Amino acid sequence: MIDFSRVLAMAKEERYALLPVLIRHELQAEPNRLANLSNIAAILYHGMGDVSWAGFYLFDGSDLVLGPFQGRPACTRISTDAGICGRSYTKNDTVIIQNVHEDPDHIACDARTNAEIVHPVRLKNGQKGVIDIDSLQVNRFTAADAALLQAVGHLLETMAD
Ligand code: SME
């Protein structure tokens, strides 16, 4: 198993290049979707740095429903026309919110959250949803985070049943 204290000690560029490699290994080693999404949430939560929540919301045919995650307990069900998660899912695009308090659509599952990035995903089996990452730090997320989540999304689309 990877020592995440060492991962976090790496330079951000190096770390962000490593995380998709760890996720690809995970997906190559194990076919079970629940196991893989759980470890991907943990890899992002422990590997990105300055992250307070990392996880999935998966579309159940009517709403986005809480999936595997790391962090404090969160809202279990989000309408596709609500929240930053709903916006990312509906637009099928990455959404970065530098200060969630300035966005009236933001749903606060944890009042401490200050910034958020959400990226739409589609698993190999067609299951759709979003990856949601929160931070206590305003302006935490940049194009590097969007690129990281795009790489993770590509792995999910090609490998995750
Ligand atoms: N903030 C999200 C809700 C999910 S929690 O952040 C885990 C949103 O506005 O959709």
Q: Look up the pTM and report it.
A: 0.96
Contact 45, 23 (CB under 8 A): no
Domain ranges of the chain: 4-159
Sorted by sequence, the CB contacts under 8 Å of residue 105 that are 6+ apart come out as: 82, 83, 84, 86, 87
CA nearest ligand 1 atom 3, residue? 107
**Distance of alpha carbon 69 from alpha carbon 110, whole angstroms:** 14
Mean model confidence pLDDT for the chain: 96
Ligand 1 close to Cβ of residue 130 (< 6 A): no
List, for residues 58-103, the tens digit of each pLDDT value.
999 999 999 999 999 999 999 999 999 999 999 999 999 999 999 9
- Compute the average pLDDT of residues 121-125: 94
Rounded Cα gap, residues 135 and 99, in angstroms: 10
Is any ligand 1 atom within 6 A of the Cβ of residue 74?
yes
Please say if the pLDDT value at position 161 is more than 80.
no
Query: Does 3.30.450.40 match the CATH number of domain 4-159?
Result: yes
- Cα separation, 57 vs 16, whole angstroms: 22
CB of 135 sitting under 6 A from ligand 1: no
